[in-house]
């Protein structure tokens, strides 16, 4: 090789080497410059969690009920917040934050079960027994169980060096310090001091980051209720995970700072609604300043839960129930606080289309008003539709009629003479209804609610046979819905024996008219009525129609109608019973509430009244409860309705609730049930 060629080869090699170095320089300085500068400036790095948003909750048509919004949370970062050995510095930061937020009218997370009374004395808060026991425990203040609130406060002041603060401020600082201790605050566990903080407050804290060292601002998704007055008892609430929940859920990836569903759909569908948190790497310099972050895994929003509820129908049911109860209290006088419930069910699927309890509340302000809500007459937090149980009164009669017809004890020609009283052994039972004729058949016995007819029929059937059919209709058992519900009671000799009580002969005839010890919930009544309406198929009730991925790209869960019981009762029997129920609306006391509806609606129903004893003003007092079960249309049933009004002398007075529901339901235009992004309809 000539010297010229060697020189050319050397130049090419040098240029190639230079090119490699130049390429690395471009990659280091330009392409990945920010990342490498952060790493070069950093003296430490740590992995942090990125909160994920919970899934949304929508109605059957995709109308949002629960959504999310992004907000700011103030959190203490254990890597930079003053250590326990620097308690005075901790106290200064904590009280400065408390003063700043309270001046701005913003809330912070005070969790201590202690407060100051009107005299400035430290006292325990009411109904916080478990929390009080916890702070006295060995893992917290390590005090005797009989320690007073003042004893606890003195221990807090001593432990955290709060002698120079006022009692009120010492109590507030102590609340934060104990909450930090409870969650094990440290390098791997951050403490949330305040949620959903205003932008201006966040900005002022960031501007003074040197003083507020270790106080970080996180962008966090928060729950939003589109209308907090719609179906609050169904939707439920979310809240900070407590120690018991954390112990149970930590193996499923939950952290001590997580939020979980506490009740309602939020609780029942927690596994689907909960998203997957992401992770990020945070780089910091020697001064503790963040020099860069790198997202290593994006958070994933939870799934969308599609309810069976129709939002507009739910609003109609709530308004009408409130109106009917209020009007009754105003015109008839009610010995008890106005209260009741209504449930609407699709008779062909068991889907709950509307479910309302009254008194009610606004779930958007649940935590702000919790104490007042627990002290309000009528217990607005209680879900009467699912959890309250009542003697069903005459609404039980159609089930007895079904049993007697199926067993061949009666037919439409069978009659019972009603004189207004019925004597059985030494007891006299009354029938206070007016009848077209003193000889009553099964159709008129249902339409006119003749007690005597059912006293006789129930006695001839016997309690065992009556309960055999009632079991088919779902009495004494849960309906199977996703939410917490009452089992109720199907009274029997066996049940009485479990209470160490004897079964008396009179119980059988009382049971035949829905008294004795029978107890049912409104949702059980609605499902029972639906079973009569559809010809004998009892479905599992459901509040969840489906679950979709948050982007509607696929179906995670789709609930199909599930049959709980095929009663096997004949069409002829149901036709006779439904004819009697039809007369209730066509010719009875309830006719006036339905005359304005289109002819095609043509409902059928059964009213009921039962008695119970309550303590009113310290005295045991007998009150009535009114019931109304109904389905429509009579000749082609689609939905069933059950309404309960506490303290009412007759179920007739809640019939307008069913009328309002029918008026809306059968006039509302059809609409598709939740269009997905790819235009596939959920049906």
What are the φ and ψ backbone dihedral angles of 203, each rounded to 5 degrees? -60, -45
- At 677, the pLDDT band (50, 70, 90 cuts) reads very low
What pLDDT shows up at residue 45?
75
Angle at 361 between CA 378 and CA 479, to 5 degrees: 75
Instruction: Answer whether residue 522 shows pLDDT above 90.
Output: yes
Cα distances (angstroms) measured from residue 287 to each of 42, 85, 89: 10, 19, 17
Q: Where are the extended beta strands (E) located within 444-484?
A: none
- What whole-number distance in Å separates Cα of residue 105 and Cα of residue 522? 43
Average pLDDT, integer, range 192-199: 94
Tell me: the pLDDT tens digits for 289-332? 666 778 888 888 999 999 999 999 999 999 999 999 999 987 87
- At 682, the pLDDT band (50, 70, 90 cuts) reads very low
- What whole-number distance in Å separates Cα of residue 373 and Cα of residue 115? 19
Average pLDDT, integer, range 101-123: 94
Contact (Cβ atoms closer than 8 angstroms) between residue 268 and residue 299: no
What are the φ and ψ backbone dihedral angles of 481, each rounded to 5 degrees? -70, 170
Tell me: the pLDDT tens digits for 390-434? 999 999 999 999 999 999 999 999 999 999 999 988 889 999 888
Contact (Cβ atoms closer than 8 angstroms) between residue 497 and residue 507: no
CA dihedral sign, ordered 453, 456, 461, 464:
positive
- What whole-number distance in Å separates Cα of residue 130 and Cα of residue 565? 42
- What whole-number distance in Å separates Cα of residue 664 and Cα of residue 597? 10
Average pLDDT, integer, range 603-621: 88
Please report, rounded to a whole number, the percentage of residues in the chain having pLDDT higher than 70.
91
Neighbour-count burial of 473, counting CB atoms closer than 10 A to its CB (0-12 exposed, 13-18 middle, 19+ buried): buried
Instruction: Answer whether residue 30 shows pLDDT above 50.
Output: yes
What pLDDT shows up at residue 611?
86
* DSSP label at residue 86: G
Of 387, 231, 314, nearest in space to 641 by CA: 314
What are the φ and ψ backbone dihedral angles of 436, each rounded to 5 degrees? -60, -40
CA dihedral sign, ordered 489, 544, 636, 670:
positive
Tell me: the pLDDT tens digits for 228-258? 999 999 999 999 888 888 889 988 888 888 8
Tell me: the pLDDT tens digits for 557-611? 999 999 999 999 999 999 999 999 999 999 878 889 999 999 889 999 999 999 8
- At 363, the pLDDT band (50, 70, 90 cuts) reads very high
Intervals of CATH 3.40.710.10 along the chain: 311-665
- At 32, the pLDDT band (50, 70, 90 cuts) reads low
Cα distances (angstroms) measured from residue 145 to each of 106, 142, 157, 546, 605: 34, 9, 19, 48, 57
pTM metric for this prediction:
0.87
Q: How many CB atoms lie within 10 A of CB 616?
A: 13
Instruction: Answer whether residue 20 shows pLDDT above 80.
Output: no
Instruction: Answer whether residue 7 shows pLDDT above 70.
Output: no
- What whole-number distance in Å separates Cα of residue 631 and Cα of residue 580? 13
- What whole-number distance in Å separates Cα of residue 492 and Cα of residue 489? 9
Average pLDDT, integer, range 335-355: 96
What pLDDT shows up at residue 418?
94
Average pLDDT, the chain: 90
- At 670, the pLDDT band (50, 70, 90 cuts) reads confident
Cβ neighbours for 457, distance < 8 A, ≥ 6 positions apart:
400, 401, 404, 409, 410, 416, 512
Helix ranges (H only) for 451-599 are 451-461, 463-472, 493-498, 505-512, 522-534, 571-586, 591-594
What pLDDT shows up at residue 683?
44
Of 427, 402, 416, nearest in space to 456 by CA: 416
Intervals of CATH 3.90.1310.10 along the chain: 44-78+196-307
Fold entry, domain 311-665: Beta-lactamase (3.40.710)
What pLDDT shows up at residue 36?
54
Longest dimension (CA), the chain: 136
What pLDDT shows up at residue 671?
80
- At 680, the pLDDT band (50, 70, 90 cuts) reads very low
What pLDDT shows up at residue 510?
95
- At 280, the pLDDT band (50, 70, 90 cuts) reads confident
**5 or 655: which carries more pLDDT confidence?**
655
Of 346, 319, 341, nearest in space to 234 by CA: 341
Partners of residue 538 on adjacent β-strands: 565
59-63, 269-273, 527-531, 621-625: least confidently modelled range: 621-625
Partners of residue 346 on adjacent β-strands: 639
What pLDDT shows up at residue 82?
94
Cβ neighbours for 149, distance < 8 A, ≥ 6 positions apart:
114, 122, 123, 124
What pLDDT shows up at residue 229?
97
- What whole-number distance in Å separates Cα of residue 449 and Cα of residue 583? 11
What pLDDT shows up at residue 35?
54
Of 570, 573, 532, 608, nearest in space to 410 by CA: 573
Is domain 44-78+196-307 in CATH 3.90.1310.10, yes or no? yes
Please report, rounded to a whole number, the percentage of residues in the chain having pLDDT higher than 90.
71
Instruction: Answer whether residue 503 shows pLDDT above 60.
Output: yes
- What whole-number distance in Å separates Cα of residue 566 and Cα of residue 531? 9
Tell me: the pLDDT tens digits for 434-459? 888 899 999 999 999 999 999 999 99
Of 240, 223, 220, nearest in space to 65 by CA: 223
What pLDDT shows up at residue 31?
53
Tell me which H or E stretch contains 580. Answer: helix 571-586
- What whole-number distance in Å separates Cα of residue 53 and Cα of residue 223? 9
Contact (Cβ atoms closer than 8 angstroms) between residue 559 and residue 545: yes
Neighbour-count burial of 656, counting CB atoms closer than 10 A to its CB (0-12 exposed, 13-18 middle, 19+ buried): buried
Q: What is residue 362's three-state secondary structure? A: coil
- What whole-number distance in Å separates Cα of residue 313 and Cα of residue 63? 12
Neighbour-count burial of 639, counting CB atoms closer than 10 A to its CB (0-12 exposed, 13-18 middle, 19+ buried): buried
Q: How many CB atoms lie within 10 A of CB 154?
A: 15
Instruction: Answer whether residue 48 shows pLDDT above 50.
Output: yes
Instruction: Answer whether residue 5 shows pLDDT above 80.
Output: no
Peptide bond into 359 cis (omega under 30): yes
Instruction: Answer whether residue 1 shows pLDDT above 60.
Output: no
């Amino acid at each position: 090789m000539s010297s010229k060629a060697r020189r050319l080869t050397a130049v090419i090699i040098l240029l190639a080497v230079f090119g490699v170095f130049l390429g690395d320089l471009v990659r280091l300085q330009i392409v990945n410059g920010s990342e490498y500068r952060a790493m070069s400036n950093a003296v430490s790095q740590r992995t942090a969690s990125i909160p994920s948003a919970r899934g949304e909750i929508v109605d059957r048509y995709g109308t949002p009920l629960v959504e999310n919004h992004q907000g700011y949370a103030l959190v203490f970062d254990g890597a930079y917040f003053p250590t326990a050995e620097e308690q005075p510095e901790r106290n200064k930061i904590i009280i400065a934050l408390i003063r700043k937020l309270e001046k701005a009218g913003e809330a912070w997370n005070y969790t201590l079960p202690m407060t100051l009374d009107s005299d400035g004395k430290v006292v325990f808060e009411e109904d916080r027994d478990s929390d009080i026991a916890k702070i006295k425990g060995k893992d917290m203040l390590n005090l005797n169980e009989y320690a007073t609130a003042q004893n606890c406060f003195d221990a807090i002041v001593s432990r955290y060096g709060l002698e120079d603060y006022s009692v009120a401020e010492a109590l507030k600082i102590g609340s934060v310090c104990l909450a930090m201790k409870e969650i094990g605050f440290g390098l791997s566990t951050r403490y949330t001091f305040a949620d959903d903080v205003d932008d201006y407050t966040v900005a002022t804290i960031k501007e003074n980051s040197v003083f507020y060292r270790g106080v970080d601002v996180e962008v966090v998704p928060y729950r939003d209720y589109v209308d907090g007055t719609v179906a609050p008892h169904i939707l439920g609430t979310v809240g900070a995970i407590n120690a018991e929940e954390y112990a149970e859920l930590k193996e499923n990836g939950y952290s001590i700072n997580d939020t979980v569903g506490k009740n309602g759909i939020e609780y029942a569908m927690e596994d689907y609604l909960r998203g997957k948190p992401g992770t990020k790497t945070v780089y910091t310099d020697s001064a503790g300043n963040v020099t860069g972050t790198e997202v290593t895994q994006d958070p994933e929003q939870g799934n969308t839960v599609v309810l069976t509820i129709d939002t507009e129908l739910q609003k109609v049911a709530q308004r009408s129930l409130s109106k009917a109860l209020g009007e009754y209290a105003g015109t008839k006088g009610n010995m008890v606080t106005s209260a009741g419930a209504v449930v609407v069910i699709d008779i062909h699927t068991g889907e709950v289309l509307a479910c309302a309890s009254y008194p009610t509340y606004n779930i958007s302000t649940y935590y702000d008003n919790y104490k007042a809500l627990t002290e309000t007459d009528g217990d607005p937090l209680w879900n009467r539709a699912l959890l309250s149980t009542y003697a069903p009164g005459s609404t039980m009669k159609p089930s007895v009629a079904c049993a007697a017809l199926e067993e061949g004890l009666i037919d439409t020609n069978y009659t019972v003479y009603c004189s207004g009283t019925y004597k059985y052994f030494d007891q006299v039972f009354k029938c206070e209804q007016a009848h077209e004729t003193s000889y009553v058949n099964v159709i008129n016995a249902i339409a006119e609610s003749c007690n005597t007819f059912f006293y006789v029929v129930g006695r001839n059937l016997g309690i065992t046979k009556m309960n055999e059919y009632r079991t088919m209709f779902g009495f004494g058992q849960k309906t199977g819905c996703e939410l917490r519900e009452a089992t109720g009671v199907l009274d029997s000799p066996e049940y009485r024996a479990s209470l160490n009580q004897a079964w008396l002969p009179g119980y059988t005839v009382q049971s035949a008219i829905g008294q004795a010890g029978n107890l049912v919930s409104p949702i059980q009544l609605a499902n029972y009525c639906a079973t009569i309406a559809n010809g004998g198929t009892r479905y599992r009730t459901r509040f969840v129609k489906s679950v979709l991925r948050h982007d509607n790209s696929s179906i995670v869960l789709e609930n199909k109608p599930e049959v709980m019981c095929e009663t096997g009762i004949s069409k002829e029997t149901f036709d006779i019973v439904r004819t009697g129920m039809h007369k209730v609306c066509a010719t009875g006391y309830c006719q006036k509430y339905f005359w304005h509806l289109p002819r095609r609606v043509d409902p059928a129903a059964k009213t009921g009244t039962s008695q119970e004893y309550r303590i009113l003003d310290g005295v045991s007092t007998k009150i009535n409860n009114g019931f109304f079960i109904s389905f429509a249309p009579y000749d082609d049933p689609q939905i069933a309705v059950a309404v309960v009004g506490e303290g009412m002398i007759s179920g007739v007075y809640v019939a307008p609730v069913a009328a309002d529901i029918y008026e809306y339901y059968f006039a509302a235009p059809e609409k598709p049930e939740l269009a997905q992004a790819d235009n596939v309809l959920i049906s």
